Amino acid sequence: MTRRVAVVVFPEFQIIDAMGPIGALEVANRVSPGAYELDLLSAAGGEVASSSGVKVVTQPFNDQGYDTILVAGGVGTRHYADRTPDVAWVRRRAGDVRRIASVCSGAYLLAEAGLLDGKRATTHWSRSDDFARRYPKIRMDADRIFVREGEVWTSAGITAGIDLALALIEDDLGHDVALHTAQQLVVPLRRPGGQSQFSALLEMGGPSGRFAELMDWMRERLSEPLNVERLADRAAMSPRHFARAFTAETGVTPAKAVERLRLESARVRVEAGHEPIDRVALTAGFRDPERMRRAFLRAFGQPPQALRRAARA
């Protein structure tokens, strides 16, 4: 069975958003010949320039029988008025295809088409706050590499499109084909860390950001109490001013940042060896294994033991 896939691009699309999934599906075709047929589409067809300036040749939107529509992202999604034809075509075809997906800020086009209302979705971490404000009916899950809601899939930024494509391949063709595809691409079938954007989220301010030194200080003291008062004192600020400034700079509250640092530390220790889970919980500052288990379920969708088993597989 051949599945026909339409990859939608537009002026100033991010080229990896489109070419990453296309490359993964191409390799899947080598592993399972005839699995996919790919069309690169745009509103008018012809040459379309990516944000890098590199141009691709596309077909115009059409009424062919597609199994999957995958919408790329990129800075071009910010020109909402210019994307009206794209949104209209995606909305019209959504009922005709088995599934629809987006990479990075391509989620904006799905949202504009009304396809994400009432659903969980994700996008690039740097645009998640804007997305959540713009589309309050959508439950933004900014930590995830990709999110599946029925047959609507959204993924995080840029290379996460490859993770999404591998998940689509596994859904279509099974674990073995997806695994062989990932091996040929020299990428993991599933990223360590339960498919999380945590590391990117924690680096929002950059290494030279206003609170970079404080973040390093926090990482060294995860087993200790790290409440707002103590962090504010370290930053030489009042707790109220610190909380506002920290959230504005990093996009997360101090409490959320502490939890994410603890989760990242605990995840690495859980996946890296045979250290008892209760000891990992204490070292990372969760105080007890049950508290850490609940945090893992919220963040990664799996308990620590499952991540350890997956890391050893």
More confident residue, 201 or 293: 293
Q: Quote the pLDDT of residue 279.
A: 93
pLDDT for the residue 306: 87
Q: Return the pLDDT at 290.
A: 95
Strand 120-121 relative to strand 46-49: parallel, antiparallel, unpaired? unpaired
Q: Distance between CA 239 and CA 247 in Å, rounded?
A: 12
Say if 3-185 and 198-312 have the same CATH topology. no
Q: Tell me, what's the pLDDT at 258?
A: 92
Amino acid letter, residue 206: G
- Res. 250: pLDDT tops 60: yes
- Per the listing, tokens 């790290």 go with 226
pLDDT of residue 187: 87
Mean pLDDT in residue range 195-206: 55
Residue 195 predicted with pLDDT over 90: no
Q: Reply yes or no on whether the pLDDT at 197 is more than 70.
A: no
Superfamily of domain 198-312 in CATH is Homeodomain-like (1.10.10.60)
Query: pLDDT band at residue 264, thresholds of 50, 70 and 90?
Result: confident
**DSSP one-letter string for 82-101:** GGHHHHHHHHHHHTTSSEEE
Among the residues of the chain, which ranges form H helices?
Answer: 15-31, 84-94, 107-112, 128-134, 160-173, 175-185, 198-202, 212-219, 228-234, 239-250, 254-272, 277-284, 289-300, 304-312
Question: pLDDT tens, 209-218?
Answer: 688 889 889 9
194, pLDDT greater than 50: no
pLDDT of residue 170 exceeding 50: yes
84 contact partners, CB below 8 Å, separation of at least 6: none
pLDDT in tens, 22-60: 999 999 999 999 999 999 999 999 999 999 999 999 999
- % of the chain exceeding 70 in pLDDT: 93
Mean pLDDT of 102-109: 97
Give the chain's mean pLDDT.
Answer: 90
The residues spanned by each domain of the chain are 3-185, 198-312
Q: Which CATH architecture has domain 3-185?
A: 3-Layer(aba) Sandwich (3.40)
Q: What is the pLDDT of residue 302?
A: 83
The span from the CA of 107 to the CA of 161, in Å, is 12
* Tokens read off for 128: 């998640």
115 in Cβ contact with 150 (< 8 Å): no
- Across residues 186-204, what is the average pLDDT? 62
pLDDT at site 310 = 73
pLDDT band for position 199 (cuts 50, 70, 90) = low
Predicted local confidence at residue 301, as pLDDT: 76
Q: Which residue has the higher pLDDT, 12 or 125?
A: 12
- In the chain, the percentage of residues whose pLDDT exceeds 90 is 69
